[in-house]
Structure 1
Amino acid sequence: MTPSIENFFENNLFRFSSCPCDCVEDIIHISPGKPEKRVLKIQAVPTDTIHFAFAAGDVGLVRLGSKGKLIEKNILGNLISIKNGDTAELFNFFKRNGFFFNVSNTEYEEIDGALIFELVSRIRATVELMSALTAIRRDYDKILHLTLYLLLSEPIVLDLPSLETPYTTCKHPFLEKIKNASNLLVVDRGQESFDRFTYSISDTIYPPTYELDIGDYNDIIGGYMKSKIGSDNPYFKNLTILYCNGINEDLQQREIIDFLFHYQYDVGIIKAIDYENGIEYYTVPDRDKFDKPQKNALIKVAQIVLGEEINANLDGIHPQYDAVKMSPSWNIDTLMAALYFSIFYMTQSELYRRCANPNCGAYFLVRTTSTRKIYCSDECRNRFQQHKHRQKKRSQLERHE
């Protein structure tokens, strides 16, 4: 049921306005044998005005008509439902809702298409991570993948002429620390190496200290530890340096360092990670060593990463007082800020769930207690059930032939 205009405006948490975009795509062929480059061109259409608002519950961030009529709900869910590489659907979204930022209304601005889809993946990963953390049953493999993807991916930079400064996705402090780990002062452990075969490291996962084999440490730093495939990975080497010598890091950074070291030292060293393909290891990970202390540590790290990711996109949001309504409100300038603000307003009782119909893939808001609601709509559920029924009949006919 569509809420009335009066009630909707009374109950929403923030509002802002923008304008739709005209979108085109240029395909540039660089040279024979090399992949083509897809360039998106965006231009604002100022003749129309789009009004947005946010309301709690299954409505979320919505688009309104000029008179306040609800036209499209769940803007965030509609965005993250766009499949990677589906340029037509991406353009359709921008034409309905405008671009993430205010762009020129006099000329096209060029954007690398791959960057935009990676940006959508990053927003999707943030939403999925929050939902995974609030779910009744936690999927630790999914939480691990999403956390490490957000934490270890290089920031995305959009440098548009209309922006005073380029937009950059969250720069997690840990990423800079691990890159510069080789510059850390090495803790003097001469007496320990003389007295025994291990270094005592203050540890947040296995407190108060963890005994690290000195031979393993030296082999990792030297890049020739034969018993652990992938130990010569530069990131793992720097991580080991951080673990042993980053004694002055604050608690949150120390929790990240300790978890990443123990997970890779015990379970498996990570070779690569991205959103679509998940985590790639140098060898088959030893899942049995992913114990309860490490799982508890993962939840803490995931919460840290999620907080950093959301807070990095709230800088442009400011509180203001509505003198007409005599109530507090928020000043929001861009669609990007509104999207992350709507993630910010998600509660522990709500989560985004992906439709169980594999031919749909839409994301919809549900209560965490709604374990039976796995389809975005009754129509989608019926369509998929009919599809399964046809498949079953076809399989039975094939067996009798």
Structure 2
Amino acid sequence: MRYLSAILDINTVTLLNISSGLAVVLFRHLGLGLLLPLILAGSLGHGLAAVTRIESLHLATGLFFGIFLTLTSALSAWLWQKYYPHCLDTVRALFRFVLVGCLLPAIAMMAIVAIPLYIDEQLVHGRLQFLTIEFTMTYTTSTLLWVSLYTAWQRQGCDWPTLRWQNVAYVAAIMALTLISFSVFPGAIYIELALLIYIAFSGHWRTLLVGLCGLIIVSILRVPFDMGAFAIPDLYDGVLALLIFIFTTVLASISISIQVMEYKNAVAARDSWQRKASLDPLTGTVNRYGLLPELAIEYERSRRARYTYTVAVIDVDNFKQFNDTYGHSAGDRVLQDVAAEITRAVRQTDLVARYGGEEFVIIFRNTDSHDAYYVAERIRQRIATNTSQFDNQSLTYTVSCGLSESCPNDSHPEQVFDRADDHLYTAKSLGRNRVVVAPKEDP
């Protein structure tokens, strides 16, 4: 790439040391067995490019530069694999990788390469400072971008079917704004920065990376003709300002995108734990702690929308004796089967919960007690004719149920539940295996 750029006279190829970042990914993916071939290719490519560009430069100096550039890429790949394999999972890990895996190896290489440059009398006043900043910025930007592209490819692949016109439009807008900033309106580059930040916050990870590549490619092609917003009297200062702008843009955009992914993962983990915390692990229904908020929500909704809901409290008859006779494992099987039967009988909009022990609760949303009674009765009949298999035994059992409809005079959410619970005990006292409905005139 270096030799090709020298032949084509692309003086601004230092905007992105593409070969170095690509070498880091190749070493990471294929191993250090590529070290010797890449050293040969790198030394020849950089050596010939340097001699083509600077006639007074000795070939050995160019070869030396190419060899150590390849070794630097191998070092970055080794640090990435050993210490920062998850550098794109958190912003802290990303910055550590940028510092230890990119900047420090690049600075160390320039310190070593400065020796033959000094011997070859190429270090004029201020030249080493310019070369150091130029190389560290291009090397770090290239490595960071290639590592991000490689990681995105490893984790998500190239999912072309999910490509949408919106993603293509984002990339096209970034490239168009870059072109405009270098040819028509220099201030467009800051509009482009705002667009990149928006894409990062929107969570379009792969679109962001492709857009950053488009920014760099257009910059490389346009800078030889116009420096745009970076056209300042001192050419070296303008080049360094552009390099630093591209580096900080890439780092900031990727950092924001990682932060957004961290936030989404944290929210998903929280929601997952909340769901697990509100579910009964034995039956898979909502537990008592998940039921109480739902009762409050339904109570407020009924007062606001003036609609009726019904609560059913269901209890397995003689469950303690059942446990004592067959054991707790058999009792667990019964509870699972009862929960499954209840869940199958109700609508998806209704709520089924295990209140505790052998007691279950159903919230029949937007349903009066007359309609809820038929569902509860169907549940009771099915359970009474059902059998649970455990240790080659067929277990039979029944349930009792109390029903209560919400009342406009209810002053708190638990009142309708308390009435249903009271009439559950009425069903028990009347002989069990029955459904008892609380009268609507009950307070």
Same fold (TM over 0.5): no
- For normalisation by structure 1, the TM-score amounts to 0.25
Normalized per residue, the structure richer in helix is 2
Higher gyration radius (CA):
2
Normalized per residue, the structure richer in strand is 1
- For normalisation by structure 2, the TM-score amounts to 0.24
